[in-house]
Amino acid sequence: MNITKDSAGAVSHEHILSKGFEVFETMEGNDMGQMSWSIPQYKNEKCVIVGGYWHWTVKDNKGKELFGGWWNSNEEFDKTMTDLGMI
């Protein structure tokens, strides 16, 4: 979540896929039996996007961390990934 905003949003799964990423793994779990969750992990030919819930990490193909945080919108995702040269 971006604490500089009054409300939290998120980049959509469909948007990430539309930018040429594919799901390579899905993390699954539950919150103490209260709610189960499933979070896709993404990759393209340049990087991986792992994590989820409230924190994503972008790593290049050598494992170097390039970004850590949360996108409040599809536009924020596009700007980060464009600035990193990943899309």
Residue 61 forms part of a structural domain: yes
Range of the domain at 36: 13-84
pLDDT at 34: 83
Residue 31 forms part of a structural domain: yes
Dihedrals φ, ψ of 82, to 5°? -70, -45
Residue 7 forms part of a structural domain: no
Residues in the chain predicted with pLDDT less than 70, given as ranges, are 1-7
Residue 39 forms part of a structural domain: yes
pLDDT at 1: 43
The pTM of this model reads 0.86
Our count of domains for the chain comes to 1
